[in-house]
A and B are shown apart, each in its own frame.
Chain A
Amino acid sequence: MSEKKTTHFGFEQVEVDKKAERVADVFHSVAGKYDLMNDLMSGGVHRLWKRYTIEKSAVRTGHKVLDIAGGTGDLSYQFAQKVGPEGLVVLADINASMLNVGRDRLTDRGVAGNLTCAQADAQYLPFPDNTFDCITIAFGLRNVTDKDLALAAMLRVLKPSGRLLILEFSKPANPLLEKAYDTYSFSLLPLMGKLITNDADSYRYLAESIRMHPDQKTLQGMMDNAGFVMTEFQNMTGGIVALHMGVKP
């Protein structure tokens, strides 16, 4: 009898083909109040992290941008303003509930003409080779089952000299900050999740998945291995979050 391959789902080990399903359940559960929770959990700082990501993307008029795990669409909205009517933004998310919230919100904000939505798995991106000038994935990579496969897919659909930006929780540089952050993540975060969405487990998973995500140097190495060049990362808020950047040669 062959042993099934496993991967982590937070601190729990699950069969590889079950992780996507479990992650999907988490995001189906939190989709409706995802932005509100983000604001509460980060004290609004997630907006600054995303703003900096947009600055570093250097996206301009006419560019094609893929916003993977774009969820509720806050990055896509800004990109749609920057690329103008000649450009294109694709809001992609594997989770239908998150994508629905994002699409409705962007429609309500009057974004039309230069934006499309796609329910897509980051590991198997349904786009032709060399399509996008820029790809962003904000707080999504840690939920992907096979990150190497996803990085290879992103490299494939980027145009040569196109830019990948990965915004993700990471490892705090200061041990004291790390201790405080741990206390916050494992005690306060699930409590807030319970109070606001009546779902402590989903927020416990979010905290655990952050700890299981590769640290700054490891992720940079994975990008190098995937074939990206000029890879670098920038710590933000003491390393609680890091922005990784790489270019397709």
Chain B
Amino acid sequence: MADPTAITAVLTALEKAAAKALEYDPGTRAQLAKLAGQTLLLDCTQPAQKIYLQFTASGIALSGHYEGELAATLSGSGTDIAKLLFADQHSLYGSGVSISGNAGVLAQLQGLMGQLDIDWELALADIIGTLPAHALAQSVRGAGRWGRERAQSAERLIREYLAEESGAVLGRSEFATFVADIDDTRFAVDRLGARIARLQAHNDHKDH
């Protein structure tokens, strides 16, 4: 068995981080209180470690040992469980994670994780003061906006280069014309086939 000091240290740090995050997201904290009294076991197979999430009225307590009743148990590798809880994986199908117990608790938790909206500006204001925090947050937001615009512009330029300059791929309008031509040809072939069939039927009738 691994030395409990290390895992206790990790769980303590995670618990404190979660408490800090919830402090700046009162909406999620209020929703989380609805799960109070329930305990979810994350039974990680890789690395082999059991983590108990105990929901309380004020947040989440994490522990490596618990002897009470469990609402649900999630079993799988650490990465798969994390993907299921924090990323876009919404279904257990193909997730590599199995669940036993009340699946509703997992659904509620996933919903809350998706809605997590931490007020970073407020968190920053508690450390460096309101005005500097606002100025810094504005700069970060500005930088984020600039970054998004540059990314969109780069995507457009690459698309134009590939389609117009290098000719490596078809442009959108050329592709549309090409598809329309194929459609016209298909209709013409269909019509021709129908005429041949009609002529053949006409000749057969005359022979008799």
Given contacts A48-B8, A51-B8, A51-B12, contact A60 B63 (CB under 8 A): no
Residue of A nearest to B64 (CB): A55
B4 touching A45, Cβ below 8 Å: no
State the CA gap A54–B9 with chains docked (Å).
Answer: 14
Per-residue contact bits, chain A 228-249, to B (CB 8 Å; 1 contact, 0 not): 0000001111100000000000
Of the listed stretches B65-73, B86-94, B154-162, name the one at the interface; the rest are far from the partner chain.
B65-73
Q: Which residue of B lies closest to A50 (CB)?
A: B8
Known pairs A235-B3, A238-B3; A48 contacts B65 (CB<8 A): no
Contact yes or no, A237 B5, CB < 8 A: yes
B4→A234 contact, CB < 8 A: yes
The one of B4, B66, B67, B68 in contact with A52, judged by C-beta atoms closer than 8 angstroms, is B4
B contact residues around A237 at 8 Å (CB)? 3, 5
- Output the least CB separation between A15 and chain B (Å): 38
Tally of A interface residues using CB under 8 Å: 15
Known A48-B12, A55-B63; contact A60-B5, beta-carbon cutoff 8 A = no
Which residues of A from 43 to 87 have beta carbons under 8 Å from B?
45, 47-49, 51-52, 55-56, 58, 60
B1 interfacial contact with A, CB 8 Å = yes
Contact mask B132-150 → A, CB, 8 Å, 1/0? 0000000000000000000
Q: What is the bound-complex CA distance between A224 and B5, given in angstroms?
A: 26
B1, B65, B68: the one within 8 Å of A56 (CB): B65
Residues on B with beta carbons closer than 8 Å to the beta carbon of A238: 3
Interface residues in A7-57 by Cβ distance below 8 A to B read 45, 47-49, 51-52, 55-56
A236 engages B3 (CB within 8 Å): yes
Q: Which of B5-35 contact A (CB under 8 A)?
A: 5, 8-9, 12
Other 4 A-B pairs with CB < 8 A, given A55-B63, A55-B66: A49-B5, A51-B12, A236-B4, A237-B5
Point out residues on B near A: beta carbons under 8 Å.
Answer: 1, 3-5, 8-9, 12, 63-68
